[in-house]
Structure 1
Amino acid sequence: MSRYLVTGADGFIGRHLVALLRSVEPHADVLTVGRHCKLDVRENCMDVFMAAGAVDYIFHLADVSGNAQWSAQHAVDQFFSNTKISTNVLEATAVHQRSARFIGVSSLWAYPSHVRLARESDYWTGPLVEATQHYGFNKKLIGVGLQACKQQYGQKGTVLVLGSTYGPGDRSDHVIPSLIQRMSDNQKSLEIWGNGYQRRDFTFVEDQVRSMYLHRDFDGPLLNISSGRTYSIRDVVSALVSTSQYGGEVRYQSDDPGEVDERALDISLATAYSGWPSIHKMHTLEEGIRLTLKGRQNHG
């Protein structure tokens, strides 16, 4: 019987990961660590990891996050909070959980700003997007800390890079939940910043956590595990409008192109390692949007 410890277990992705673990391994012991544990306080973090007893896997998802605008406006708070959480969790792992396999998570924000289709080999090849570099560098810190634990203590583990994850229960201000909220607030019109042609690798949360589970034993330092398929903002809006039967006018600020046209993760290494994503029946964008809206209707 496996024992799992999941930090950030009460967050959007964390809740879905915990549900998956309990579904695919009903006899596993899944220990959840939420916000109330205050992992940014070193003593709290040490106590949690010691009290857990020996675990087989640590999924470290806990962080303070938001969309790019929020991140830029709260740079200091986000930087110090996430740095404390990351260093505390890594130290607690090194002290109390050396036999556990550590799985950290990263994002496209940790890749250099010039990269459009990000390969793992690109990770350290240049500066990050300036407005959110404090967030991206913290994700890099997790990888560096894990490598130090491997070097000194023989720790096992990896860092998995996730796509732009969306799905039921996401109340953040990221693209898809933000669009849903704005459509709900204004039934007459929806104004989109940019021309809508920007493409991202939106990944439905159930597919994303399945990928995390399937790649939990990867031994390399970094692995991209998104859907491997990009969708434009216009694709997302079209799916939302048709699924929700939104009757308002959709207006794009076409005079402002918005963010860079396309940024995505190259998942060829994951494909070579496991066959991802063909080994799993992925949700289409339309299916994911439908389930996201259904979850919102059911839970308010």
Structure 2
Amino acid sequence: MSGWSGERVLVTGGASFIGSHLVEDLVAEGADVRVADDLSSGEPENLAAVDDEIEIVEGNLKRMSFAETATENIDTVFHLAADHGGRGYISNYPANCATNMALDNVVYEAAAQNGVERITFASSACTYPTDIQQEKQRLSEDMVSFDERGGAYADEVYGWAKLMGERSLRAYHEQYDIDASMVRIFTAYGPRENETHAIVALMAKAYAEQDPYQIWGDGEQTRNFTYVKDITRALRLASENITDATPVNAGIRDYITINEVADAIFDRLDWHPDEINHMTDKPVGVRHRAADTTRAEELLGWEPQYSLEEGIEATLDWYVENRNKEYVQENLETLLHER
């Protein structure tokens, strides 16, 4: 395809953190955008910059009647809607995460019945086998296989649901000839993300001047924290360039420890705790995670543009501007654990 001008696009979960950034990008590119969201975790104010330029429909996409309405007269679907949260959430609410399998298939079925031309699915690094993430080994897309026995070993129920979302989308591509693409998102962060996710959780604790400052685990676990605008660009490029349901990673190649992120936040806020309490009894997920981005570079011409320093600066500036310090101090535990 050439450009998004005039393209009729549905973004499911479009009032969410990543979804709202994608909506803004698509509007800027000239697309005619509809957002479908149940607002369980998304916020209408996330779309404030473009709300007079888009259509917003509110409802539950697990209901076929609403999914049919949402996908009517649509060319392209970006399917981001999901029940999800940070590590604590997906560990504590596996049944909630399992409902994503129903959600994905209802959206795909409605899209197929309405003649949608292409679907791009927001998948996850949680699709990758957990046992290979204890050592530093960059994850490449072919480490997951549907074609060989033992080819899949996802990370908790959330990861299995995302993996089944990928497999289902490939099935709809095979049966209905819908153009399909999927992006495995690695540890996205940025403005509008909530405090249940790692970087914003670390920011909230520092902003509230929590002392002793709590870090889950020993802090030496690594993630490849990827700024949200790099993620949304990968989603758009995948939709533009991939039609055969080939998955691509969107993440950085660097291994960044939680301790390093905390130090960068302390420096930016010009505040340092007297004591750090490493809470080794808390769920921390896999030990190391970073992306092999070779396929994204080859198929999409994509590589991350934002450094960790730039991303933290932009995210922390947003957080301080939009959160009242006394409120965060009084409600810190609730903010860290509620979706």
**Do Structure 1 and Structure 2 share a fold, with TM-score over 0.5?**
yes
Structure 2: which 5+ residue stretches go unaligned? Answer: 1-5, 39-57, 146-150, 324-339
Deviation at 1:187, TM superposition (A): 4.0
Aligned counterpart, 1:21: 26
Q: Which amino acid aligns with 1:48?
A: A
Deviation at 1:255, TM superposition (A): 7.0
Per the alignment, do residues 250 and 107 of structure 1 end up closer, same or farther by CA in structure 2, a change over 3 Å counting?
A: farther
TM-score (norm: length of structure 1): 0.89
Distance in 2 (alpha carbons) for counterparts of 1:83 and 1:259: 22
Q: Is the 8 A contact 2:185 2:231 kept in 1?
A: yes
Aligned counterpart, 1:128: 154
Per the alignment, do residues 233 and 29 of structure 1 end up closer, same or farther by CA in structure 2, a change over 3 Å counting?
A: same
Aligned counterpart, 1:30: 33
CA RMSD of aligned residues (A): 2.0
1:70 aligns with 2:82: no
Deviation at 1:193, TM superposition (A): 2.4
Aligned counterpart, 1:12: 17
Q: 1:219 aligns with which of 214, 218, 243?
A: 243
Query: SS at the partner of 1:247?
Result: coil
Query: How do residues 39-188 of structure 1 correspond to structure 2 at under 5 angstroms?
Result: 39-50=61-72, 53-55=73-75, 57-80=76-99, 82-98=100-116, 100-116=117-133, 117-124=138-145, 125-129=151-155, 132=156, 134-188=157-211
Deviation at 1:101, TM superposition (A): 1.2
Deviation at 1:259, TM superposition (A): 4.8
Counting aligned pairs with the same residue, the percent is: 27
Distance in 2 (alpha carbons) for counterparts of 1:12 and 1:236: 20
Which whole-Å deviations, capped at 9, do the CAs of 1:25-70 have from their partners, x for residues lacking one? Answer: 1x321111121321122221122222xx142x21000001012222
Per the alignment, do residues 183 and 157 of structure 1 end up closer, same or farther by CA in structure 2, a change over 3 Å counting?
A: same
Q: Which amino acid aligns with 1:219?
A: T
Aligned counterpart, 2:260: 235
Q: Is the 8 A contact 2:120 2:238 kept in 1?
A: no
Query: SS at the partner of 2:132?
Result: coil
TM-score (norm: length of structure 2): 0.79
Which whole-Å deviations, capped at 9, do the CAs of 1:152-197 have from their partners, x for residues lacking one? Answer: 1111111111110001111140111111122233443312122222
Query: SS at the partner of 1:118?
Result: coil
User: Is 205-214 or 252-261 further displaced after alignment?
Assistant: 252-261
Deviation at 1:276, TM superposition (A): 2.2
Query: SS at the partner of 1:102?
Result: strand
Which whole-Å deviations, capped at 9, do the CAs of 1:208-256 have from their partners, x for residues lacking one? Answer: 1122222222234211121233311122111101001123235253977
What is the aligned residue count? 287
Structure 1: which 5+ residue stretches go unaligned? Answer: none
